Amino acid sequence: MTTAIELADSVRRGETTATTLTEGSLAAIAAGNGALNAFLHVDVDGALSAAARVDRAVANGEDPGPLAGVPIALKDNLCTRGVPTTAASRILEGWRPPYTATVVDRLLGAGAIPVGKTNLDEFAMGSSTENSAFGPTRNPHDHARVPGGSSGGSAAAVASGMVPIGLGSDTGGSIRQPAALCGVVGVKPTYGMVSRYGLIAFASSLDQIGPLTRSVADAAVCLEVIAGHDPRDSTSLQEPAPSLVASLHDGVEGRTVALVRELLDGAAPDVEAAVNASAAVLRDAGATVIEISIPELRLGLSAYYLIAPAEASSNLARYDGVRYGLRVDADDLTMMNVATRTKGFGDEVKRRIMLGTYALSAGYYDAYYGRAQRVRTLLSRAFAGAYGRADLLVGATAPTTAFELGAKTTDPMAMYLSDVYTIPSNLSGDPAITVPFGSGADGLPLGVQLLGPARSERLVFAAAQVLEEGAPR
Ligand code: GLN
Protein backbone atom coordinates (compact mmCIF):
# COMPACT_ATOMS: atom_id res chain seq x y z
CA MET A 1 0.00 0.00 0.00
CA THR A 2 1.31 3.41 -0.92
CA THR A 3 2.41 5.44 2.07
CA ALA A 4 1.69 9.11 2.74
CA ILE A 5 5.37 9.92 2.25
CA GLU A 6 5.40 8.32 -1.21
CA LEU A 7 2.19 10.12 -2.16
CA ALA A 8 3.50 13.50 -1.03
CA ASP A 9 6.77 12.93 -2.88
CA SER A 10 4.95 12.22 -6.12
CA VAL A 11 2.86 15.38 -5.70
CA ARG A 12 5.98 17.43 -4.98
CA ARG A 13 7.72 16.02 -8.07
CA GLY A 14 4.68 16.75 -10.21
CA GLU A 15 4.05 13.06 -11.02
CA THR A 16 0.52 13.26 -9.66
CA THR A 17 -1.62 16.06 -8.28
CA ALA A 18 -3.23 16.80 -4.96
CA THR A 19 -6.54 17.00 -6.80
CA THR A 20 -6.13 13.47 -8.18
CA LEU A 21 -5.30 12.08 -4.72
CA THR A 22 -8.18 13.97 -3.12
CA GLU A 23 -10.66 12.79 -5.75
CA GLY A 24 -9.43 9.23 -5.18
CA SER A 25 -9.97 9.55 -1.44
CA LEU A 26 -13.43 11.10 -1.87
CA ALA A 27 -14.40 8.29 -4.26
CA ALA A 28 -13.21 5.64 -1.77
CA ILE A 29 -15.25 7.30 0.97
CA ALA A 30 -18.32 7.50 -1.27
CA ALA A 31 -17.97 3.81 -2.09
CA GLY A 32 -17.18 2.50 1.38
CA ASN A 33 -18.68 4.78 3.99
CA GLY A 34 -22.22 3.42 3.71
CA ALA A 35 -21.01 0.10 5.13
CA LEU A 36 -18.41 1.42 7.59
CA ASN A 37 -19.85 4.73 8.87
CA ALA A 38 -16.29 5.94 9.44
CA PHE A 39 -17.06 9.54 8.42
CA LEU A 40 -19.75 11.71 9.96
CA HIS A 41 -19.11 14.56 7.54
CA VAL A 42 -17.24 14.73 4.24
CA ASP A 43 -16.02 18.20 3.26
CA VAL A 44 -15.92 17.80 -0.53
CA ASP A 45 -15.65 21.51 -1.37
CA GLY A 46 -13.11 22.29 1.35
CA ALA A 47 -10.96 19.31 0.32
CA LEU A 48 -11.00 20.14 -3.38
CA SER A 49 -10.14 23.79 -2.80
CA ALA A 50 -7.27 22.86 -0.45
CA ALA A 51 -6.04 20.45 -3.14
CA ALA A 52 -6.24 23.16 -5.79
CA ARG A 53 -4.11 25.43 -3.58
CA VAL A 54 -1.45 22.73 -3.26
CA ASP A 55 -1.47 22.10 -7.02
CA ARG A 56 -1.06 25.82 -7.71
CA ALA A 57 1.90 25.96 -5.35
CA VAL A 58 3.59 23.05 -7.14
CA ALA A 59 2.90 24.69 -10.52
CA ASN A 60 4.55 27.88 -9.21
CA GLY A 61 7.66 25.96 -8.24
CA GLU A 62 6.94 26.16 -4.50
CA ASP A 63 7.14 23.21 -2.10
CA PRO A 64 3.76 22.75 -0.36
CA GLY A 65 5.38 20.69 2.41
CA PRO A 66 6.02 17.13 3.58
CA LEU A 67 2.36 16.09 3.35
CA ALA A 68 1.68 17.71 -0.03
CA GLY A 69 -1.68 16.54 -1.32
CA VAL A 70 -2.11 13.80 1.28
CA PRO A 71 -5.79 13.30 2.22
CA ILE A 72 -6.33 13.14 5.96
CA ALA A 73 -9.26 12.30 8.22
CA LEU A 74 -9.95 14.29 11.40
CA LYS A 75 -11.64 12.82 14.44
CA ASP A 76 -14.81 14.83 14.91
CA ASN A 77 -13.73 16.26 18.24
CA LEU A 78 -11.22 18.49 16.43
CA CYS A 79 -12.62 21.92 15.67
CA THR A 80 -12.69 23.00 12.03
CA ARG A 81 -13.83 26.52 11.30
CA GLY A 82 -17.19 26.54 9.52
CA VAL A 83 -17.24 22.75 9.20
CA PRO A 84 -19.64 20.76 11.43
CA THR A 85 -17.97 19.38 14.57
CA THR A 86 -20.13 17.18 16.79
CA ALA A 87 -17.93 15.02 19.05
CA ALA A 88 -20.56 12.44 17.98
CA SER A 89 -23.04 14.05 20.36
CA ARG A 90 -26.58 15.32 19.76
CA ILE A 91 -25.72 18.24 22.00
CA LEU A 92 -23.37 19.65 19.32
CA GLU A 93 -25.36 18.59 16.25
CA GLY A 94 -25.22 21.34 13.65
CA TRP A 95 -22.54 23.35 15.45
CA ARG A 96 -19.93 24.96 13.22
CA PRO A 97 -16.91 26.12 15.23
CA PRO A 98 -15.66 29.68 14.74
CA TYR A 99 -12.03 28.50 14.88
CA THR A 100 -9.71 25.72 13.76
CA ALA A 101 -7.59 23.40 15.93
CA THR A 102 -3.84 24.09 15.83
CA VAL A 103 -3.12 20.57 14.58
CA VAL A 104 -5.40 21.10 11.59
CA ASP A 105 -3.77 24.43 10.76
CA ARG A 106 -0.35 22.78 10.92
CA LEU A 107 -1.44 19.93 8.65
CA LEU A 108 -2.81 22.42 6.13
CA GLY A 109 0.48 24.30 6.37
CA ALA A 110 2.32 21.08 5.45
CA GLY A 111 0.16 20.57 2.36
CA ALA A 112 -2.25 17.97 3.76
CA ILE A 113 -5.88 17.85 2.62
CA PRO A 114 -8.50 17.37 5.35
CA VAL A 115 -11.32 15.42 3.66
CA GLY A 116 -13.73 15.02 6.54
CA LYS A 117 -14.62 14.34 10.14
CA THR A 118 -14.64 10.85 11.56
CA ASN A 119 -16.93 9.01 13.94
CA LEU A 120 -16.08 8.46 17.61
CA ASP A 121 -17.63 7.46 20.89
CA GLU A 122 -19.55 10.48 22.14
CA PHE A 123 -17.04 12.97 23.59
CA ALA A 124 -14.39 10.23 23.14
CA MET A 125 -15.87 8.15 25.98
CA GLY A 126 -15.67 4.53 24.97
CA SER A 127 -13.63 1.76 23.39
CA SER A 128 -15.77 0.62 20.46
CA THR A 129 -17.29 3.70 18.72
CA GLU A 130 -20.68 2.25 19.65
CA ASN A 131 -21.33 5.23 21.95
CA SER A 132 -21.66 7.56 18.96
CA ALA A 133 -25.02 9.31 18.70
CA PHE A 134 -24.80 8.74 14.94
CA GLY A 135 -24.45 4.94 14.83
CA PRO A 136 -21.41 2.72 15.26
CA THR A 137 -18.43 2.44 12.92
CA ARG A 138 -17.64 -1.05 11.68
CA ASN A 139 -14.26 -2.76 11.50
CA PRO A 140 -13.12 -2.89 7.84
CA HIS A 141 -11.68 -6.38 8.42
CA ASP A 142 -15.03 -7.78 9.61
CA HIS A 143 -18.17 -5.66 9.51
CA ALA A 144 -19.74 -7.59 12.40
CA ARG A 145 -16.96 -6.33 14.67
CA VAL A 146 -16.11 -3.01 16.29
CA PRO A 147 -13.15 -0.94 15.11
CA GLY A 148 -12.26 -0.12 18.72
CA GLY A 149 -12.60 3.38 20.08
CA SER A 150 -12.96 6.07 20.67
CA SER A 151 -11.08 7.04 17.47
CA GLY A 152 -12.75 4.15 15.61
CA GLY A 153 -13.76 6.29 12.62
CA SER A 154 -10.19 7.44 11.94
CA ALA A 155 -8.84 3.90 12.45
CA ALA A 156 -11.40 2.42 10.02
CA ALA A 157 -10.81 5.21 7.48
CA VAL A 158 -7.06 4.52 7.45
CA ALA A 159 -7.34 0.72 7.57
CA SER A 160 -9.84 0.64 4.68
CA GLY A 161 -7.62 2.79 2.48
CA MET A 162 -9.95 5.83 2.37
CA VAL A 163 -7.10 8.04 3.64
CA PRO A 164 -3.44 7.36 4.45
CA ILE A 165 -3.52 9.38 7.69
CA GLY A 166 -6.09 10.00 10.38
CA LEU A 167 -5.89 12.07 13.54
CA GLY A 168 -7.28 10.79 16.80
CA SER A 169 -7.23 11.74 20.46
CA ASP A 170 -6.06 9.48 23.25
CA THR A 171 -7.18 10.02 26.85
CA GLY A 172 -6.93 6.40 27.99
CA GLY A 173 -6.10 4.53 24.79
CA SER A 174 -8.44 5.96 22.16
CA ILE A 175 -5.77 6.13 19.45
CA ARG A 176 -3.82 2.97 20.26
CA GLN A 177 -6.65 0.52 20.95
CA PRO A 178 -8.59 1.20 17.70
CA ALA A 179 -5.30 1.27 15.75
CA ALA A 180 -4.50 -2.21 17.10
CA LEU A 181 -7.98 -3.55 16.36
CA CYS A 182 -7.89 -2.20 12.79
CA GLY A 183 -4.28 -3.16 12.02
CA VAL A 184 -2.71 0.30 11.74
CA VAL A 185 -0.04 2.30 13.58
CA GLY A 186 -1.24 4.62 16.38
CA VAL A 187 0.73 7.06 18.53
CA LYS A 188 -0.02 8.71 21.88
CA PRO A 189 2.69 11.37 22.16
CA THR A 190 4.23 12.73 25.37
CA TYR A 191 1.74 14.93 27.23
CA GLY A 192 2.29 18.50 26.05
CA MET A 193 4.03 17.58 22.79
CA VAL A 194 0.99 18.29 20.62
CA SER A 195 -1.25 21.32 21.12
CA ARG A 196 -4.83 20.60 22.15
CA TYR A 197 -6.06 24.03 21.11
CA GLY A 198 -9.31 23.26 19.30
CA LEU A 199 -9.67 19.73 20.70
CA ILE A 200 -13.03 19.31 22.43
CA ALA A 201 -11.85 18.54 25.96
CA PHE A 202 -12.66 15.23 27.68
CA ALA A 203 -10.13 14.92 30.55
CA SER A 204 -7.61 17.70 30.16
CA SER A 205 -4.78 16.23 32.25
CA LEU A 206 -4.82 13.12 30.03
CA ASP A 207 -5.91 14.17 26.51
CA GLN A 208 -3.34 14.05 23.69
CA ILE A 209 -3.78 14.19 19.91
CA GLY A 210 -1.83 11.82 17.67
CA PRO A 211 -1.70 10.10 14.27
CA LEU A 212 -3.11 6.83 12.94
CA THR A 213 -1.29 5.65 9.82
CA ARG A 214 -0.37 2.61 7.76
CA SER A 215 3.37 2.90 8.47
CA VAL A 216 5.63 4.00 11.30
CA ALA A 217 7.38 6.44 8.93
CA ASP A 218 4.07 8.13 8.07
CA ALA A 219 3.29 8.51 11.77
CA ALA A 220 6.72 10.09 12.26
CA VAL A 221 6.18 12.64 9.48
CA CYS A 222 2.71 13.49 10.73
CA LEU A 223 3.85 13.90 14.33
CA GLU A 224 6.72 16.15 13.24
CA VAL A 225 4.17 18.34 11.51
CA ILE A 226 1.63 18.60 14.35
CA ALA A 227 4.03 18.69 17.36
CA GLY A 228 5.86 21.68 18.80
CA HIS A 229 5.05 24.54 21.14
CA ASP A 230 1.77 26.41 20.81
CA PRO A 231 1.17 29.46 23.01
CA ARG A 232 -2.58 28.78 22.76
CA ASP A 233 -2.32 25.58 24.85
CA SER A 234 -0.95 26.33 28.32
CA THR A 235 0.16 22.71 28.75
CA SER A 236 2.22 22.80 25.56
CA LEU A 237 5.91 21.96 26.06
CA GLN A 238 8.30 24.84 25.43
CA GLU A 239 10.22 23.00 22.77
CA PRO A 240 10.16 22.43 19.01
CA ALA A 241 8.85 19.23 17.45
CA PRO A 242 11.36 16.37 17.70
CA SER A 243 12.98 15.22 14.47
CA LEU A 244 11.77 11.66 14.15
CA VAL A 245 12.30 10.83 10.50
CA ALA A 246 16.06 11.46 10.66
CA SER A 247 16.52 8.86 13.42
CA LEU A 248 13.89 6.38 12.25
CA HIS A 249 16.47 3.79 11.23
CA ASP A 250 18.67 4.08 14.31
CA GLY A 251 17.61 0.60 15.45
CA VAL A 252 17.69 -0.81 18.98
CA GLU A 253 21.24 -2.18 19.14
CA GLY A 254 22.55 -1.92 22.69
CA ARG A 255 19.17 -0.88 24.10
CA THR A 256 17.40 -2.66 26.91
CA VAL A 257 13.74 -3.46 26.38
CA ALA A 258 11.58 -4.75 29.24
CA LEU A 259 8.62 -7.04 28.73
CA VAL A 260 6.17 -5.93 31.40
CA ARG A 261 4.13 -8.68 33.04
CA GLU A 262 1.22 -6.35 33.88
CA LEU A 263 0.98 -5.33 30.22
CA LEU A 264 0.17 -8.96 29.38
CA ASP A 265 -1.93 -9.98 32.40
CA GLY A 266 -5.27 -11.20 31.13
CA ALA A 267 -4.32 -11.00 27.45
CA ALA A 268 -5.67 -13.65 25.10
CA PRO A 269 -3.10 -16.37 24.25
CA ASP A 270 -2.71 -15.15 20.65
CA VAL A 271 -2.05 -11.60 21.85
CA GLU A 272 0.51 -12.84 24.35
CA ALA A 273 2.22 -14.91 21.65
CA ALA A 274 2.48 -11.86 19.40
CA VAL A 275 4.05 -9.76 22.15
CA ASN A 276 6.59 -12.51 22.85
CA ALA A 277 7.37 -12.75 19.14
CA SER A 278 7.85 -8.99 18.98
CA ALA A 279 10.33 -9.17 21.86
CA ALA A 280 12.27 -11.77 19.86
CA VAL A 281 12.38 -9.36 16.89
CA LEU A 282 13.86 -6.66 19.13
CA ARG A 283 16.38 -9.16 20.53
CA ASP A 284 17.42 -10.22 17.04
CA ALA A 285 17.97 -6.55 16.23
CA GLY A 286 20.51 -6.27 19.04
CA ALA A 287 18.42 -5.25 22.05
CA THR A 288 18.70 -6.91 25.44
CA VAL A 289 15.24 -8.10 26.47
CA ILE A 290 14.45 -8.47 30.16
CA GLU A 291 11.20 -9.29 31.96
CA ILE A 292 9.93 -7.06 34.74
CA SER A 293 6.88 -6.53 36.88
CA ILE A 294 5.43 -3.09 37.69
CA PRO A 295 2.64 -3.99 40.14
CA GLU A 296 1.45 -0.36 40.39
CA LEU A 297 0.15 -0.60 36.83
CA ARG A 298 -2.73 -2.69 38.17
CA LEU A 299 -4.05 0.43 39.91
CA GLY A 300 -4.21 2.40 36.66
CA LEU A 301 -7.74 1.54 35.60
CA SER A 302 -9.28 2.44 38.97
CA ALA A 303 -7.42 5.73 39.19
CA TYR A 304 -8.33 6.59 35.60
CA TYR A 305 -12.05 5.96 36.16
CA LEU A 306 -12.02 8.54 38.95
CA ILE A 307 -9.76 11.16 37.37
CA ALA A 308 -11.17 11.05 33.83
CA PRO A 309 -14.86 11.29 34.83
CA ALA A 310 -14.03 14.00 37.40
CA GLU A 311 -12.39 16.15 34.73
CA ALA A 312 -15.12 15.29 32.22
CA SER A 313 -17.87 16.38 34.62
CA SER A 314 -16.20 19.77 34.81
CA ASN A 315 -15.36 20.06 31.08
CA LEU A 316 -18.89 19.11 30.04
CA ALA A 317 -20.55 21.69 32.26
CA ARG A 318 -20.31 24.16 29.36
CA TYR A 319 -22.97 22.29 27.34
CA ASP A 320 -25.92 24.04 28.90
CA GLY A 321 -27.99 25.08 25.90
CA VAL A 322 -27.13 28.75 26.37
CA ARG A 323 -24.41 29.69 23.90
CA TYR A 324 -24.21 26.94 21.33
CA GLY A 325 -25.42 23.51 20.32
CA LEU A 326 -28.74 21.97 21.21
CA ARG A 327 -31.33 23.85 23.27
CA VAL A 328 -34.52 22.26 24.59
CA ASP A 329 -36.80 25.07 25.75
CA ALA A 330 -38.42 24.92 29.17
CA ASP A 331 -40.10 27.27 31.66
CA ASP A 332 -36.99 28.57 33.37
CA LEU A 333 -33.23 28.51 32.91
CA THR A 334 -32.52 25.56 35.19
CA MET A 335 -35.21 23.42 33.58
CA MET A 336 -33.87 24.41 30.15
CA ASN A 337 -30.37 23.25 31.21
CA VAL A 338 -31.78 19.97 32.52
CA ALA A 339 -33.95 19.31 29.47
CA THR A 340 -31.09 20.13 27.09
CA ARG A 341 -28.58 17.90 28.85
CA THR A 342 -31.10 15.08 29.29
CA LYS A 343 -31.86 15.02 25.58
CA GLY A 344 -28.39 15.96 24.31
CA PHE A 345 -26.13 13.50 26.15
CA GLY A 346 -26.07 9.72 25.69
CA ASP A 347 -26.03 7.16 28.50
CA GLU A 348 -22.25 6.74 28.80
CA VAL A 349 -21.66 10.50 28.94
CA LYS A 350 -24.31 10.81 31.64
CA ARG A 351 -22.70 7.95 33.56
CA ARG A 352 -19.31 9.70 33.46
CA ILE A 353 -20.79 13.05 34.56
CA MET A 354 -22.50 11.36 37.52
CA LEU A 355 -19.39 9.39 38.50
CA GLY A 356 -17.21 12.48 38.21
CA THR A 357 -19.57 14.76 40.09
CA TYR A 358 -19.81 12.22 42.90
CA ALA A 359 -16.01 11.79 43.06
CA LEU A 360 -15.55 15.55 43.39
CA SER A 361 -18.37 16.26 45.82
CA ALA A 362 -17.78 17.62 49.30
CA GLY A 363 -16.95 14.86 51.77
CA TYR A 364 -15.89 12.41 49.05
CA TYR A 365 -13.16 14.42 47.32
CA ASP A 366 -10.29 13.13 49.47
CA ALA A 367 -11.51 9.55 49.50
CA TYR A 368 -11.87 9.35 45.72
CA TYR A 369 -10.29 12.08 43.60
CA GLY A 370 -7.49 12.89 46.06
CA ARG A 371 -6.63 9.22 46.42
CA ALA A 372 -6.69 8.64 42.68
CA GLN A 373 -4.23 11.50 42.27
CA ARG A 374 -1.90 9.90 44.79
CA VAL A 375 -2.13 6.61 42.91
CA ARG A 376 -1.25 8.53 39.75
CA THR A 377 1.93 9.79 41.39
CA LEU A 378 2.81 6.27 42.56
CA LEU A 379 2.33 4.94 39.07
CA SER A 380 4.52 7.64 37.53
CA ARG A 381 7.26 6.87 40.04
CA ALA A 382 6.98 3.17 39.26
CA PHE A 383 7.41 3.91 35.56
CA ALA A 384 10.43 6.09 36.36
CA GLY A 385 11.90 3.18 38.33
CA ALA A 386 11.38 0.85 35.37
CA TYR A 387 13.11 3.34 33.07
CA GLY A 388 16.10 3.13 35.38
CA ARG A 389 16.46 -0.49 34.25
CA ALA A 390 15.22 -0.38 30.68
CA ASP A 391 15.15 2.12 27.81
CA LEU A 392 11.76 0.96 26.56
CA LEU A 393 8.85 -1.19 27.71
CA VAL A 394 6.85 -3.59 25.59
CA GLY A 395 3.44 -5.17 26.09
CA ALA A 396 0.06 -5.72 24.53
CA THR A 397 -2.04 -2.83 23.24
CA ALA A 398 -5.42 -4.48 23.86
CA PRO A 399 -6.36 -7.78 25.54
CA THR A 400 -8.02 -9.28 22.43
CA THR A 401 -8.55 -8.69 18.72
CA ALA A 402 -11.70 -6.82 17.64
CA PHE A 403 -14.86 -7.98 19.41
CA GLU A 404 -18.37 -8.22 17.98
CA LEU A 405 -20.71 -5.26 17.94
CA GLY A 406 -22.91 -5.37 21.01
CA ALA A 407 -20.62 -7.76 22.89
CA LYS A 408 -19.78 -5.26 25.66
CA THR A 409 -22.42 -2.53 25.40
CA THR A 410 -24.39 -3.72 28.42
CA ASP A 411 -21.33 -4.23 30.62
CA PRO A 412 -19.40 -0.96 31.14
CA MET A 413 -16.72 -2.70 33.22
CA ALA A 414 -15.94 -5.17 30.41
CA MET A 415 -15.71 -2.24 28.00
CA TYR A 416 -13.42 -0.28 30.36
CA LEU A 417 -11.04 -3.26 30.54
CA SER A 418 -10.29 -2.84 26.82
CA ASP A 419 -7.92 -0.03 27.85
CA VAL A 420 -6.17 -1.70 30.75
CA TYR A 421 -2.78 -1.68 28.94
CA THR A 422 -3.05 1.79 27.42
CA ILE A 423 -4.31 3.84 30.37
CA PRO A 424 -1.05 3.82 32.41
CA SER A 425 0.86 5.97 29.91
CA ASN A 426 -1.92 8.56 29.88
CA LEU A 427 -1.66 8.77 33.67
CA SER A 428 2.13 9.16 33.52
CA GLY A 429 2.08 11.41 30.43
CA ASP A 430 4.65 9.24 28.66
CA PRO A 431 4.61 8.37 24.95
CA ALA A 432 3.44 5.04 23.53
CA ILE A 433 2.95 3.57 20.07
CA THR A 434 1.11 0.54 18.76
CA VAL A 435 2.48 -1.32 15.75
CA PRO A 436 0.51 -3.98 13.84
CA PHE A 437 2.10 -7.35 14.51
CA GLY A 438 0.46 -10.18 12.61
CA SER A 439 -2.99 -11.50 13.33
CA GLY A 440 -4.83 -13.43 16.00
CA ALA A 441 -6.33 -16.90 15.93
CA ASP A 442 -9.42 -15.40 14.25
CA GLY A 443 -7.32 -13.86 11.47
CA LEU A 444 -7.97 -10.30 12.73
CA PRO A 445 -5.13 -7.82 13.22
CA LEU A 446 -3.42 -7.26 16.53
CA GLY A 447 -0.96 -4.71 17.78
CA VAL A 448 2.06 -4.60 20.05
CA GLN A 449 2.66 -1.58 22.28
CA LEU A 450 6.01 0.14 22.91
CA LEU A 451 6.31 2.64 25.77
CA GLY A 452 9.10 5.05 26.62
CA PRO A 453 9.83 7.81 29.11
CA ALA A 454 8.63 11.38 28.48
CA ARG A 455 10.10 12.95 25.32
CA SER A 456 11.67 9.66 24.17
CA GLU A 457 9.75 9.68 20.87
CA ARG A 458 12.92 9.30 18.82
CA LEU A 459 13.78 6.04 20.53
CA VAL A 460 10.18 4.81 20.56
CA PHE A 461 9.84 5.40 16.82
CA ALA A 462 13.18 3.75 16.00
CA ALA A 463 12.09 0.64 17.92
CA ALA A 464 8.65 0.74 16.28
CA GLN A 465 10.37 0.77 12.89
CA VAL A 466 12.28 -2.39 13.87
CA LEU A 467 9.01 -4.07 14.87
CA GLU A 468 7.31 -3.03 11.65
CA GLU A 469 10.13 -4.52 9.58
CA GLY A 470 10.11 -7.72 11.64
CA ALA A 471 6.34 -8.18 11.86
CA PRO A 472 4.83 -11.37 10.41
CA ARG A 473 3.37 -10.82 6.95
N1 GLN B 1 -11.93 4.00 26.55
C2 GLN B 1 -11.46 4.97 27.50
C3 GLN B 1 -12.64 5.73 28.03
O4 GLN B 1 -13.72 5.40 27.68
C5 GLN B 1 -10.47 5.89 26.83
C6 GLN B 1 -11.10 6.90 25.96
C7 GLN B 1 -10.12 7.82 25.29
O8 GLN B 1 -8.91 7.59 25.27
N9 GLN B 1 -10.65 8.91 24.79
O10 GLN B 1 -12.52 6.64 28.78
Q: How far is CA 444 from CA 18, 32, 170, in A?
A: 33, 19, 22
Residue 245 maps to a domain = no
Separation of CA 126 and ligand 1 centre (Å): 5
**Of residues 226, 248, 251, the one with CA closest to residue 175:** 226
Give the integer Cα–Cα distance in Å for 216 and 209: 16
Choice among 25, 75, 89, 128 that is catalytic: 75
* Degrees to nearest 5, angle at CA 299 with 399 and 271: 15
Count Cβ atoms within 10 A of the Cβ of residue 371 and give its class: 0-12 exposed, 13-18 middle, 19 or more buried: middle
Same domain, 129 and 161: yes
CATH number, domain with residue 447: 3.90.1300.10
CA-nearest residue for atom 10, ligand 1, is: 125
On the CB side of 160, how many CA atoms lie within 13 Å of its CA?
Answer: 31
CA-nearest residue for atom 5, ligand 1, is: 172
Tell me, what's the pLDDT at 1? Answer: 61
Same domain, 284 and 261: yes
Residue 267 maps to a domain = yes
- Say whether 456 is catalytic: no
Residue 167 maps to a domain = yes
Give the integer Cα–Cα distance in Å for 434 and 168: 13
Residue 246 maps to a domain = no
- Top mutation candidate among 119, 123, 131, 150 for ligand 1, by most atoms within 8 Å of CB: 150
Choice among 150, 151, 154, 236 that is catalytic: 150
Separation of CA 416 and ligand 1 centre (Å): 8
Q: How many residues can be counted in the chain?
A: 473
By three-state DSSP, how is residue 100 classified? coil
- Top mutation candidate among 76, 118, 125, 415 for ligand 1, by most atoms within 8 Å of CB: 125
Same domain, 234 and 220: yes
Give the integer Cα–Cα distance in Å for 438 and 363: 50
Same domain, 307 and 403: no
Number of domains in the chain: 3
Choice among 174, 236, 418, 428 that is catalytic: 174
User: Which of the listed residues 240, 272, 288 is the one where a domain comes to its end?
Assistant: 240
Residue 96 maps to a domain = yes
User: Which of the listed residues 314, 346, 367 is the one where a domain comes to its end?
Assistant: 367
Pocket of ligand 1 (CB under 6 A): 124-127, 150, 170-174, 202, 308, 419
Tell me, what's the pLDDT at 324? Answer: 87
Task: Please state the atom number of ligand 1 nearest to the C-alpha of residue 203.
Answer: 9
Same domain, 288 and 306: no
Give the integer Cα–Cα distance in Å for 340 and 39: 26
Same domain, 71 and 137: yes
Same domain, 69 and 120: yes
Same domain, 211 and 282: no
Residue 248 maps to a domain = no
Separation of CA 350 and ligand 1 centre (Å): 15
Same domain, 270 and 338: no
Separation of CA 83 and ligand 1 centre (Å): 25
Task: Please state the atom number of ligand 1 nearest to the C-alpha of residue 419.
Answer: 1
Same domain, 306 and 295: no
User: Which of the listed residues 348, 367, 386 is the one where a domain comes to its end?
Assistant: 367
Same domain, 50 and 136: yes
CA-nearest residue for atom 4, ligand 1, is: 126
- Say whether 174 is catalytic: yes
Q: How far is CA 214 from CA 98, 238, 260, 369, 405, in A?
A: 32, 30, 26, 38, 24
pTM: 0.98
pLDDT tens-place values along the chain, 473 residues long: 689 999 999 999 999 999 999 999 999 999 999 999 999 999 999 999 999 999 999 999 999 999 999 999 999 999 999 999 999 999 999 899 999 999 999 999 999 999 999 999 999 999 999 999 999 999 999 999 999 999 999 999 999 999 999 999 999 999 999 999 999 999 999 999 999 999 999 999 999 999 999 999 999 999 999 999 999 999 999 999 999 999 999 999 999 999 999 999 999 999 999 999 999 999 999 999 999 999 999 999 999 999 999 999 999 999 999 988 999 999 999 999 999 999 999 999 999 999 999 999 988 888 999 999 999 999 999 999 999 999 999 999 999 999 999 999 999 999 999 999 999 999 999 999 999 999 999 999 999 999 999 999 999 999 999 999 999 98
Q: Which long-range contacts (CB under 8 A, 24 or more apart) does 191-194 make?
A: 191/235, 191/426, 191/429, 191/430, 191/454, 192/235, 192/236, 192/237, 192/429, 193/223, 193/227, 193/237, 193/241, 193/242, 193/431, 193/455, 193/457, 194/103, 194/223, 194/226, 194/227
Q: Which structural domain range is residue 404 located in?
A: 256-299+377-470
Separation of CA 411 and ligand 1 centre (Å): 15
Residue 441 maps to a domain = yes
Same domain, 402 and 458: yes
Separation of CA 163 and ligand 1 centre (Å): 23
Return the bridge partners of 185, or none.
213
Residue 277 maps to a domain = yes
- Say whether 243 is catalytic: no
Task: Please state the atom number of ligand 1 nearest to the C-alpha of residue 174.
Answer: 8
Separation of CA 173 and ligand 1 centre (Å): 6
